Amino acid sequence: MDAIGTRRSVRAYTEQRPGEDVIHTLLEAAVRAPTAMHLEPWGFAIVQDRAMLKRYSDRAKAALGEPPGHPEMLDDPDFNIFYDAGTLVVVCRRSSGPFADADCWLAAENLMLAAAEMGLGTCCIGFAVGVLNTPEAKRELNIPADGAAVAPIILGYPRGSVAQVPRKAPEILAWKKT
């Protein structure tokens, strides 16, 4: 409950990047997630190359165009969709299946909770999904042709604290008892 209570979407990071041992620990936590039919469809792509992250950011911003509700920040040439974090962990599905995406999201949540417990910050970057699923990015990240980037998560050491965001009370749609 402590990790759940302290996990935040962090959008400001120090220059320090988590080391390989830290990332391996987080990946071990990720693969402990529940998995439908024990298929474990996930795979992970780690990017700690700032030039590559900037290139993906620029491509994602260009691809997002001008849809309704377009956030102004995407028009800023200096804005990086990865918030200048030095590490991106992409939770990928290696193949398709009825519950593969759900399994990947469960692995992503385990990773984010473990990171919070270790004092690290994370944030899911939905803006990145499209660019990470282009044929070029999939080749660069070794994502199988029938697989996909599911949950792009930036990771790093938070610069400052992030306030807790209030949540609505659970909305119970049904509770049937006998």
Q: Any idea where the domains of the chain sit in the sequence?
A: 2-65+75-156
pTM score: 0.92
Task: Please determine, looking at this structure, whether the domain spanning 2-65+75-156 carries the CATH number 3.40.109.10.
Answer: yes
Do residues 129 and 152 touch, judged by C-beta distance below 8 A? yes
- Rounded to whole angstroms, the Cα distance separating 54 from 131 reads 12
Q: Residue 22: enclosing H or E segment and its boundaries?
A: helix 20-30
Do residues 143 and 149 touch, judged by C-beta distance below 8 A? yes
- Rounded to whole angstroms, the Cα distance separating 21 from 26 reads 9
- pLDDT band at residue 76 using 50, 70 and 90 as cut-offs: confident
For residues 20-25, give the mean pLDDT: 98
In the block, residue with structure tokens 């008892």: 177
* pLDDT tens for each residue of 109-150: 999 999 999 999 999 999 999 999 999 999 999 999 999 999
* pLDDT tens for each residue of 24-64: 999 999 999 999 999 999 999 999 999 999 999 999 998 88
